[in-house]
């Protein structure tokens, strides 16, 4: 399968799909949906085996964030998403397309760490929530200002540093040990790095 025929294609058409990218194949949509279920299952297992003391509202928020981050991490790496988000907005995509196809606006909408801090560890809304958000946006800015041929390794450098900080620097909010590293993969590599979008030949 390594040398299976494929072609680079930037053109797409169809009903706007801001999740998997317009024109995603069935395999691409299946990968995205399947991955979106993994982290919520882990969160449910953690919540049922550890005494977090979460309310039903907190559990619902945790599951929604897990679905978004886990699914988005894989979705943003899809060829269909690379094709969709790294081409100019089309008229059919409306104002939402203009907003979401702007990389800084897309990245800045991911206030997940601030939300987690406010709802699960309010005393650390600044030292956890804001610091992680600032690091995410700094990484976005650095990658976007890096020459294209170095963007992918630069994004992985940011992910490496974020993972180490998550382990040895900023203590995670209990139950969200996964959040910062996966969020950096989703946004800093998955969404920001422009790569050639392949289609099956």
| Dihedral (CA of 163, 181, 126, 118) sign | negative
- Specify whether the CB–CB gap between 24 and 17 falls below 8 A: yes
**Residue 2 pLDDT more than 70?**
no
Six-digit token string for 134:
């600032």
Residue with tokens 């058409």: 13
Do residues 27 and 81 touch, judged by C-beta distance below 8 A?
no
Q: What percent of the chain stands above pLDDT 70?
A: 98
Tell me which H or E stretch contains 94: helix 94-100
Please give the torsion angle defined by the CA atoms of residues 102, 104, 108 and 113, in that order, rounded to the nearest 10 degrees.
Answer: 120
pLDDT of 8 reads: 95
CA distances from 22 to 5, 29, 160 (A): 22, 10, 31
Query: Tokens 């979401």 map to which residue?
Result: 100
Can you tell me whether residue 6 is helix, strand or coil?
strand
* pLDDT (average), residues 108-115: 98
Mean pLDDT, the chain, whole residue set: 96
- Token readout for 106 is 């897309």
Mean pLDDT of 122-128: 95
Q: Which of 28, 16, 9 is nearest to 97 (CA)?
A: 16
pLDDT digits (tens, 9 = 90+) for 29-66: 999 999 999 999 999 999 999 999 999 999 999 999 99
Q: Is the pLDDT of residue 108 over 90?
A: yes
What is the chain's alpha carbon radius of gyration, rounded to the nearest angstrom? 18
- Residue 85 has which token pair? 């988000």
Residue-level pLDDT at 90: 95
pLDDT higher than 60, residue 1 = no
The predicted pLDDT at position 200 comes to 87
CA distances from 18 to 52, 82, 105, 121, 194 (A): 34, 11, 14, 31, 17
Give the span between the Cα atoms of 180 and 39, in whole angstroms.
13
DSSP 171: P
Report strand pairing: 198-200 vs 6-8: antiparallel
Q: Is the pLDDT of residue 14 over 60?
A: yes
Q: What is the mean pLDDT of residues 7-31?
A: 96
pLDDT band at 133 (very low <50, low <70, confident <90, very high): very high
Q: Which pLDDT band holds residue 156 (cuts at 50, 70, 90)?
A: very high
Dist. CA 185–CA 190, nearest whole Å: 6
């Amino acid at each position: 399968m390594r040398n299976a025929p494929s072609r680079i294609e930037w053109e797409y058409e169809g009903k706007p799909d801001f999740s998997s990218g317009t024109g995603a194949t069935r395999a691409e949509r299946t990968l995205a949906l399947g991955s979106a279920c993994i982290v919520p299952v882990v969160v449910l297992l953690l919540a049922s085996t550890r005494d977090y003391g979460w309310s039903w509202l907190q559990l619902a928020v945790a599951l929604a964030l897990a679905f978004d981050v886990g699914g988005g991490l894989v979705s943003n790496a899809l060829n269909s998403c690379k094709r969709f988000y790294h081409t100019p907005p089309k008229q059919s995509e409306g104002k939402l397309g203009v907003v979401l196809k702007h990389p800084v606006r897309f990245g800045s909408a991911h206030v997940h760490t601030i939300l987690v801090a406010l709802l699960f560890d309010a005393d650390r809304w600044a030292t956890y929530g804001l610091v992680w958000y600032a690091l995410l946006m700094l990484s976005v800015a650095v990658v976007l200002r890096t020459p294209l041929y170095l963007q992918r390794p630069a994004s992985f450098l940011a992910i490496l540093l974020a993972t180490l900080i998550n382990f040895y620097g900023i203590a995670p909010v209990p139950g969200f040990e996964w959040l910062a590293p996966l969020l950096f993969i989703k946004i800093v590599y998955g969404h920001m790095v422009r790569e050639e979008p392949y289609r099956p030949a």
